[in-house]
């Protein structure tokens, strides 16, 4: 399968679709999932096009994971999370629906079950608040 330049994450990277950005560097981009499964649910993507970890270059995965760790640490502080769940899907049989390498960061809270990724878009004002919480921690 060839990389699809029209996937939603490629469009976000090109600025064609808005996103609630929480972090960006030369190699990666992190933003909020608009269909969050938990408070602070974020996505980290590489800027280099690749479908998933099966096709990404090792260097791409390396810089991706550096940013994943940075966002995980920020999530723990910004949301007073008790833990973090990472999700990463590959190929349709593995649950992948957007074919651009990405990692879901899900802050977790004791005794709070993970919500479903059911297509209920979060209210924009709440997304703005969550993005600001991340940015406040990341700017320290």
Domains and CATH numbers, the chain: 8-111 (3.30.428.10)
Q: What is the pLDDT of residues 15-34, one digit of tens each?
A: 999 999 999 999 999 999 99
20 tagged catalytic: no
The low-confidence residues of the chain, meaning pLDDT below 50, are none
Query: pTM to 2 decimals?
Result: 0.96
Which residue of the set 41, 102, 104, 117 is catalytic? 102
Q: pLDDT above 90 covers what percent of the chain?
A: 95
3-state SS string over 110-134? Answer: CCCCCCCCCCCCCCHHHHHHHHHHH
* pLDDT at residue 117 in the model: 84
* pLDDT at residue 12 in the model: 98
Alpha-carbon gap, residue 58 to 21, rounded angstroms: 25
Average pLDDT value for the chain: 97
């Amino acid at each position: 399968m060839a990389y699809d330049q029209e996937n939603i994450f490629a469009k976000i990277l090109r600025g064609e679709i808005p996103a609630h950005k929480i972090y960006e560097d030369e190699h990666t981009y992190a933003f909020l999932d608009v269909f969050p499964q938990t408070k602070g649910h974020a996505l980290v993507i590489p800027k280099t096009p690749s479908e998933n970890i099966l096709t990404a270059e090792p260097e791409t995965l390396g810089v991706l994971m550096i940013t994943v760790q940075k966002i995980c640490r920020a999530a723990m502080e910004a949301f007073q999370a008790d833990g973090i769940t990472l999700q990463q899907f590959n190929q349709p049989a593995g649950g992948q629906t957007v074919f651009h390498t990405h990692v879901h960061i899900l802050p977790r809270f004791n005794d709070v079950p993970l919500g479903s990724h059911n297509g209920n878009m979060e209210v924009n004002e709440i997304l703005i608040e969550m993005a600001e919480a991340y940015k406040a921690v990341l700017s320290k």
